[in-house]
Structure 1
Amino acid sequence: MPLPRPRRTALALAAGLLIAPLAAHAESAAPAIEVYKSPSCGCCVVWADYMRDNGFAVTETDTEDLYGMKALAGIPDDAASCHTAVVDGYVIEGHVPAEDVRRLLEEKPQAVGLSVPGMPPSSPGMDVPGYEGAPFETLLVQRDGSTSVYARH
């Protein structure tokens, strides 16, 4: 009997977090990033396109169980956003700028990943008119659930 869709998606996320570091050793010009999103969220699609435009090989997976996935991936509620992605074993939560993801992949900190909590109107993929240049922060999410500022934009 097949697993229900949300459970399969959560298992796929867990498998991605475990297997991605092994796959990262293969030579590739574009880092592979898997984006888990709601099928009805337009800004998630815009962010995925932004990441493609910035040299990432993006795969999108629709799911109805994003909150379960966030919890499984180690994203605390106060760091949550609208979509969750995985790249090279790191979780990328929300509208994180491509340059922050590249820096994370270069530095390889011992952490869960990065988050731009909520949906800041000036973050990549949001681009709300009138908010150009409005400040927002990218957070580094630690394995114990704590966060620290990783970048200011």
Structure 2
Amino acid sequence: MIDRRMFAATMAACLLSTPALAAARQTPVRAQVFRSPDCGCCGAWIAHLEAHGFVVDVVMTEDMEAVKDRHGVPASLRSCHTGLIEGYVIEGHVPAADIHSLLEQHPQAGGIAVPGMPVGSPGMEMGDHRDPFDVILWTGSQTRVFSSHQG
């Protein structure tokens, strides 16, 4: 037979093990984001990250290609802004939930990317229209779909 204290402790352990509560218990995740001063969608993506608990340090630069080259972003995966989060490169309009999943799974990889600028991805919201898009995980020249988002 289970007593009240044991039941309460068991329920608390179950509740505190949910991903959302686990993330809330941790210190905020810091991100460094490189962006062009002329790009408005970059600011919208940064706001998306901040709304999902990231603390963002923004670095304005006119030479985004040099940033992407320095951090090994494959040419086929490039977008407008580049983030660095806990040893991973985050390229383009990657949803915050996918970044949290990456950090939880901690795969051996260079990073994740949303190539191009799909309408409806975080920072690219334009009315009700949403394009389907994939988040791509890469390691060197190897790539695979990390997650898919429907339009």
TM-score between the two structures when normalised by the length of structure 1: 0.78
Deviation, 1:111, is 0.5
Is 1:146 matched with 2:147? no
**Equivalent position SS for 1:124:** coil
**Equivalent position SS for 2:57:** strand
Residue ranges of structure 1 left out of the alignment (5+ in a row): 1-26
Residue ranges of structure 2 left out of the alignment (5+ in a row): 1-24
For residues 51 and 122 of structure 2, the distance between their equivalents in structure 1, rounded to whole angstroms, comes to 11
Deviation, 1:69, is 1.1
For residues 28 and 72 of structure 1, the distance between their equivalents in structure 2, rounded to whole angstroms, comes to 30
**Which residue of structure 1 lines up, in the alignment, with residue 116 of structure 2?**
118
Identity within the alignment, % = 43
Looking at both structures, which has the greater relative contact order when contacts are Cα pairs under 8 Å and sequence separation is at least 6? 1
For residues 99 and 71 of structure 1, the distance between their equivalents in structure 2, rounded to whole angstroms, comes to 26
For residues 88 and 95 of structure 1, the distance between their equivalents in structure 2, rounded to whole angstroms, comes to 18
Hey, which bits of structure 1, 4+ residues long, moved more than 3 A?
Answer: none
Instruction: Letter of the 2:42 partner, please give it.
Output: C
> How many residues are matched?
125
**Equivalent position SS for 1:101:** helix
Q: Is residue 75–residue 145 contact of structure 1 (8 Å, CA) maintained in 2?
A: no
**Which residue of structure 1 lines up, in the alignment, with residue 89 of structure 2?**
91
**Equivalent position SS for 1:121:** coil
For residues 136 and 95 of structure 1, the distance between their equivalents in structure 2, rounded to whole angstroms, comes to 10
TM-score between the two structures when normalised by the length of structure 2: 0.79
Instruction: Letter of the 2:134 partner, please give it.
Output: E
Deviation, 1:28, is 5.5
**Which residue of structure 2 lines up, in the alignment, with residue 72 of structure 1?**
70
**Equivalent position SS for 2:90:** strand
Instruction: Letter of the 2:40 partner, please give it.
Output: G
- The structure with the larger Rg is 2
**Which residue of structure 2 lines up, in the alignment, with residue 54 of structure 1?**
52
The CA RMSD measured in Å over matched residues stands at 1.3
**Which residue of structure 2 lines up, in the alignment, with residue 137 of structure 1?**
134
* 93-102 or 59-68: bigger deviation: 59-68
